[in-house]
């Protein structure tokens, strides 16, 4: 049996590990258009900031492909698909036959046709090559006068870019067309907190503004002109105006698509033997109750893992995912899960301390927790994620989840203590670490937590 995976990132790696665990003799081919060993894309901003070295970005150990006996075709693009012949045609002229195929092509960045976008010094913020090019241009920074970077777009990618560039020593101006940053994952209140944290950290944030022109010279970018006529001098521009499922490979084929590739609960497409998972696929969203593209790293790996099991003949249904984002902003945590903007009939609970930059909001629908956003204090995020993902009625938790009082504590114990107290829990086999983790509840630490809580209420 020959399994071919198009995509050398979280989804593809998760699938390859599952396939190898289920089928020791299978031939596994991974096709990746980047020449690099699989790396963690969320670390790109930290790499630009100089916080991690190139080898510290590895998502799996250097001997990963050899150890799992994977034929890794890296640095070559899959150009077309022949479903009748079960062949993937590569850009280098070669072809790869498959018995089972996984499409894990991820997402691509989008950018509007801004005047001057052909100048040198304008970068995507998506791949290792983008990060290397940005590091090369910003190296030393003395010649890059002024040492200012413009980031166009304040979604998740834009925020990560701003963080990385600021960490590299550049002045950063974040330009967002919409009235608030991170509008797809935060409500307006949480967005205001996040913006204040960015600005306090030294990033200038302009909302309700767009870039009408990028200006430059033979040496590259020299500035941008905003829609209100303001000109900002800069030596570097980062494009971060949104992402979309990478459907280029299936365009014009008989694969059924909507926003992403449509799959069933086993990740199989409408073409037998062809699967899709990760950012490119539409899968069941637990909170929305319908197919949706929940593009993030944990979902991508989990979907790849289950897709791999199904490809290897171990029928495993996918329970569904939720949209979730977690990011550090200058020492403050920001987390978003599920639906954060309530609809008619939804109930909302909020806990807030402006003085301490703490904001928590829960969204309930028909006695189910369907969404949460947290800034500053993310202590309840584990239980919140469990309640959303498991889609179980919350009952009395509704009134106590954000209070961090005794009812919450005892409720948490009731949920988890019988399962994990004093037990040795193994990490998932798909993870690189096989170490054991022993969980205990500590009443003394909880009491200390309660005392800390009273300091700001």
pLDDT band at 384 (very low <50, low <70, confident <90, very high): confident
pLDDT at 219: 82
**H helix runs in 139-187, sequence order:** 156-167
Q: Does residue 117 sit within a domain? A: no
* One domain, residues 187 and 200: yes
pLDDT at residue 24 is higher than 90: yes
**How high does pLDDT run on average in the chain?**
87
Q: How far is CA 339 from CA 59, 279, 357, in A?
A: 29, 18, 22
Going by the DSSP 8-state scheme, the letter that residue 49 receives in this structure is T
Q: Is the dihedral of CA 55, 66, 76, 310 positive or negative?
A: negative
* One domain, residues 102 and 248: yes
pLDDT at residue 369 is higher than 80: yes
pLDDT, greater one: 409 or 210: 210
- CA-CA distance, 304 to 21, in Å (whole number)? 13
Token duo for residue 4: 């071919």
* One domain, residues 275 and 228: no
* One domain, residues 305 and 337: no
Most distant pair of Cα atoms in the chain: their distance: 68
Phi-psi region of 218 (alpha: psi -120 to 50; beta: other; left: phi over 0): alpha
Q: How far is CA 92 from CA 7, 77, 145, in A?
A: 16, 8, 41
Contact 120, 108 (CB under 8 A): no
- CA-CA distance, 48 to 70, in Å (whole number)? 30
pLDDT at 138: 82
- What CATH number is attached to the domain comprising 296? 3.50.50.60
Q: Does residue 372 sit within a domain? A: yes
Percentage of the chain surpassing pLDDT 70? 86
pLDDT at residue 426 is higher than 90: no
**Burial annotation 311-331 (CB, 10 A radius, 16+ → b, else e):** bbeeebebebbbbbbbbebee
Q: Does residue 293 sit within a domain? A: yes
pLDDT at residue 60 is higher than 70: yes
Q: Does residue 321 sit within a domain? A: no
* One domain, residues 409 and 383: yes
Mean pLDDT of 378-385: 82
214 is in which domain, residue-wise?
A: 122-241
pLDDT at 355: 86
Q: Does residue 141 sit within a domain? A: yes
- What CATH number is attached to the domain comprising 426? 3.30.390.30
Read off the pLDDT of residues 167-176 as tens digits, 9 standing for 90 and up: 998 999 999 9
pLDDT at 398: 77
* One domain, residues 391 and 434: yes
Read off the pLDDT of residues 106-153 as tens digits, 9 standing for 90 and up: 999 989 999 999 999 999 999 999 999 999 888 755 555 458 999 999
Please provide the distance, in angstroms rounded to a whole number, between the alpha carbons at the two ends of the chain: 62
Burial class (CB in 10 A: 0-12, 13-18, 19+), 278: buried
Mean pLDDT of 249-255: 96
* One domain, residues 91 and 128: no
pLDDT at 407: 40
pLDDT at residue 424 is higher than 90: no
Contact 140, 170 (CB under 8 A): no
pLDDT at 413: 59
pLDDT at 142: 52
**Burial annotation 104-121 (CB, 10 A radius, 16+ → b, else e):** bbbbbbeeeebebbebeb
Q: Which of 81-90, 407-416, 445-454 has the highest mean pLDDT?
A: 81-90
* One domain, residues 250 and 236: no
Interacting residues of 180 by C-beta distance below 8 A, sequence separation 6+: 186, 188, 191, 192, 195, 207
Mean pLDDT of 70-97: 97
Q: Does residue 316 sit within a domain? A: no
pLDDT at 423: 55
pLDDT at residue 57 is higher than 70: yes
**Domain boundary, last residue among 191, 210, 241:** 241
pLDDT band at 410 (very low <50, low <70, confident <90, very high): low
pLDDT at 314: 95
Percentage of the chain surpassing pLDDT 90? 68
pLDDT at residue 309 is higher than 70: yes
pLDDT at 429: 47
């Amino acid at each position: 049996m020959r399994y071919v995976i198009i995509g050398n990132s979280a989804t593809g790696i998760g699938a390859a590990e599952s396939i190898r665990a289920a089928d020791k003799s299978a031939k596994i081919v991974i096709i990746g258009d980047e020449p690099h060993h699989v790396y963690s894309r969320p670390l790109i901003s930290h790499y630009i900031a100089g916080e991690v070295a190139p080898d510290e970005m590895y998502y799996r150990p250097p001997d990963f492909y050899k150890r799992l006996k994977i034929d890794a075709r890296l640095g070559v693009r899959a150009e077309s698909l022949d479903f009748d012949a079960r062949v993937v045609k590569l850009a280098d002229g070669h072809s790869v036959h498959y018995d089972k195929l996984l499409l894990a092509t991820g997402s691509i960045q989008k950018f509007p046709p801004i005047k001057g976008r052909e100048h040198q010094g304008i970068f995507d913020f998506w791949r290792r090559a983008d990060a290397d090019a940005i590091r090369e241009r910003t190296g030393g920074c003395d010649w890059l006068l002024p040492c200012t970077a413009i980031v166009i777009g304040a979604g998740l990618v834009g925020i990560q870019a701003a963080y990385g560039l600021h960490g590299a020593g550049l002045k950063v101006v974040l330009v967002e067309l919409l009235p608030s940053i991170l509008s797809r994952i935060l409500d307006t209140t949480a967005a205001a907190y996040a913006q204040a944290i960015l600005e306090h950290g030294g990033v200038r944030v302009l909302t309700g503004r767009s870039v009408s022109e990028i200006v430059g010279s033979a040496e590259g970018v020299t500035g941008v002109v905003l829609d209100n006529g303001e000109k900002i001098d800069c030596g570097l521009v980062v494009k971060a105006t949104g992402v979309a499922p990478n459907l280029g490979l299936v365009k014009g084929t008989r694969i059924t698509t909507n926003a992403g590739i449509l799959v069933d609960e086993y990740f199989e497409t409408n073409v037998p033997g062809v699967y899709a998972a990760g950012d490119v696929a539409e899968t069941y969203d637990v909170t929305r109750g319908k197919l949706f593209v929940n593009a993030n790293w944990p979902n991508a790996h989990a979907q790849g893992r289950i897709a791999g099991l199904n490809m290897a003949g171990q029928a495993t249904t996918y329970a569904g995912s939720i949209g979730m984002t977690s990011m550090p902003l200058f020492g403050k945590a920001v987390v978003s899960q599920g639906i954060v903007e309530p609809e008619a009939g939804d109930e909302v609970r909020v806990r807030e301390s402006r003085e301490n930059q703490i904001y928590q909001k829960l969204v309930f629908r028909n006695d189910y927790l369907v969404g949460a956003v947290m800034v500053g204090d993310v202590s309840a995020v584990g239980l919140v994620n469990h309640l959303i993902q498991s889609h179980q009625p919350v009952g009395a938790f509704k009134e106590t989840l954000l209070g961090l009082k005794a009812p919450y504590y005892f409720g948490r114990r009731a949920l988890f203590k019988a399962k994990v107290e004093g037990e040795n829990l193994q990490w998932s086999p798909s993870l690189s670490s096989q170490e054991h983790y022993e969980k205990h509840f500590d009443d003394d630490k909880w009491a200390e937590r309660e005392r800390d809580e009273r300091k700001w209420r």
